Structure 1
């Protein structure tokens, strides 16, 4: 069973679905039940042997405060509803492994009842916490973890903490001052490599009617809830583009961008015949692989896609409600992997100059960055399941237990 932390954007559910898909491809006879409040779950192509339970949506806006996204209910009663749905799913599905995204106790501690149930009723279930490379600035993360008792929860309940990142770029053990009892459970898996999309670059260029001399620029703010300014600034920058450059731009607003913002950008984009604008694609990697350069916010998934495709990129990271994107962009910028612009410094002129510089600068090799996140996670979970199966088989065949097993069978 997989619990996907949700609250802002599409990043968490996209990352967890990528992990689930790889697990299903690499481990025979595996079934996965995903529990998430993401409003976009139905828009993704879901593999066989995976299903999901959709929880009522919560939303963490740019202020960081959690609220109910759609239902006209109070946050406390909605969290209680979600918690009871999760507990019921755990009790009936009886997972061998419970993979939890980001928060040891879930959003607003909604996993506490389920974790207590697992530890008293389903004691053979292994709990694994999955963390992305960076959570937030240490001044925020350390006191937050202390407040919510996350280190104690990991020590008491979790078998392993899998980190989809590398200590060379960001070592959460040191940055967040993890105590030894927690740090020893941390396993760095590497970043998540994204496979090439379903369409070839030649097909994408044909569909977009790109001429040979045109450079293709992809603009994506991820989920799009706070992506209006990035796209608006990019459109304004096109006025400054020298005549010697021939750009064809595809802008993906993101499904969570407010409709009034989408409409405003559609009107502005209409003045640029070389710009196409859309809301969402479940095959973003096909367009990233085709692009000559990418202009994006700095979410984990988008960054991994840029690294996987080896594309020049200009990243304008989000700085609230979390500074995670900004920290990641700064680290990668120092390595020469991409160009980063702090949102406080974002202007059409600065954005265009950074983009043109990225197009003209030879890209350094990305091969030094560990991108083995998916196979490493799969190897660990596969080994854990094999161990469980071996123990189960041994227990069943143990002569000492045969009389007890025969008695149980007779009763049944």
Structure 2
């Protein structure tokens, strides 16, 4: 039964609306950071009064959240090189961990009774863990359900095979009221290779990229610097190594680089990088993880980064001249995004297939940063309406619920 409200504030009224954002987070920071940006926009705009993020990220507790946003940490899982998964620390096998996660999701949603559920990227959740919750919500019909997709998922053929294996197309057709693509259709269509019905395509909305702001003010260097960030860092060792090679080979290369390893680049690899950073005598300074990285983006003369979705949104939002070094395994997602962004004049793509990844190519790219055009000069401002569109679509969807209840 729904919670009781005063007579002039019925269940589902704007003042008491709630949202849940599901983020499976088996790797990296992207899903959690995207969900945090969405939850912040929805609560601060007043579209919902509160939101809960369901996340499997092991570093969720190291982020700050707006007052009306909380999170529930799902037991973590780890992806192995062969593509299989194991439990991160529960002592259970992967089937037991998935069942535990699924139960936590179902109980949280049942108790919280959201008016809106936004699912990030995976229509059925990790290993199908979301299906029992989607079934229940569809039966009751009180919660609007949205699938949120980043601008690029993978090569069309690869993505189609993956969605077929996971029965993701069937789930999208059956459970989701709308699909939101967090990018402009003019840049890329991540659904192009999927056999979606005309009905689903009619309820698909391209929002534009999700604009980022400085959430937590932080001290940044007063002197000029370039920011080096591999995102979460779990697959960023090659990029960090390349930047350090460039500074080691060219003693006149500048300005100073501020290197943020990310929380998942650690152990022996990071220790070796730390020795090399120390030998550069202050030309590169490094830190492990900075949850306030937006301030570093805003103050940087330029950025060298990998090509993840959140990093790309920050580059556009803070109008940063950027060199992107995209990964190409296990997905071509970052390469597709960086290649398309370079075609539009938004960034420089240091393409291993075209340029080769050598110290010399990185030296040249860093030296050329001051002459690059900023994203705004290529029309980036017109690509960043995502949060405004999300707010409008969320309000419209939940108003349908209120109208249905009144009838």
**What's the TM-score, normalizing by structure 2?**
0.89
In the other structure, the counterpart of 1:191 is: 209
- Alignment counterpart, residue 54 of structure 1, candidates 53, 73, 76: 73
Q: Distance in 2 between matches of 1:197 and 1:110?
A: 32
For the pair 1:352 / 2:368, whether they are aligned, the reply is no
Residue of structure 2 aligned with 1:289, choices 298, 301, 305:
298
Q: Which moved more, 1:162-171 or 1:147-156?
A: 147-156
Instruction: For 1:29 and 1:193, locate their aligned partners in 2 and report how far apart those are by CA, in whole Å.
Output: 19
State how 1:124-163 maps to structure 2 within 5 Å.
124-163=142-181
Deviation for aligned residue 1:242? 6.2
Residue of structure 2 equivalent to 1:406:
none
SS in 2 for 1:270: helix
Cα 1:317/1:29, change in 2 over 3 Å: closer
SS at match of 1:375: helix
Alignment correspondent of 1:18: 37
1:179 and 2:197 aligned:
yes
Aligned to 2:399, which of 369, 386, 392?
386
Higher-Rg member (1/2): 1
Q: Distance in 1 between matches of 2:33 and 2:54?
A: 13
1:63 deviation in Å? Answer: 4.5
Q: Does the 8 Å CA contact 1:197/1:289 hold for their aligned counterparts?
A: no
**Does 2:274 correspond to 1:250?**
no
In the alignment, which residue of structure 2 is the partner of 1:410? Answer: none
Residue correspondence of structure 1 range 1-400 to structure 2 within 5 A: 1-27=20-46, 30-61=49-80, 63-120=82-139, 122-196=140-214, 198-199=216-217, 204-206=220-222, 210=223, 215-241=224-250, 243=252, 246-272=254-280, 273-343=282-352, 345-363=356-374, 365-368=377-380, 369-392=382-405, 394-395=406-407
What is the rounded CA distance, in whole Å, between the counterparts of 2:344 and 2:195 in structure 1?
24
Q: What 5-or-longer segments of structure 2 have no aligned partner? A: 1-19
Q: CA deviation at 1:360?
A: 2.2
RMSD (Å) for aligned C-alpha atoms:
1.9
Question: Which secondary structure does the structure 2 equivalent of 1:310 belong to?
Answer: coil
Alignment partners' CA distance in 1, 2:192 and 2:404? 36
TM-score by length of 1: 0.88
Whole-angstrom distance in 1 between the partners of 2:48 and 2:374:
42
What secondary structure, in the 3-state scheme, does the structure 2 residue paired with 1:98 have?
strand
Counterpart Cα distance in 2 of 1:143 and 1:258: 33
3-state SS of 1:205 partner: coil
Q: Compute the displacement of 1:276 (Å).
A: 0.9
* Offset from partner CA, 1:126-184 (integer Å, 9 cap, x none): 11111101111112101111222222211111100011011111123434353323212
Which has the larger displacement, 39-48 or 366-375?
366-375
| Distance of 1:334 and 1:28 partners within structure 2 | 36
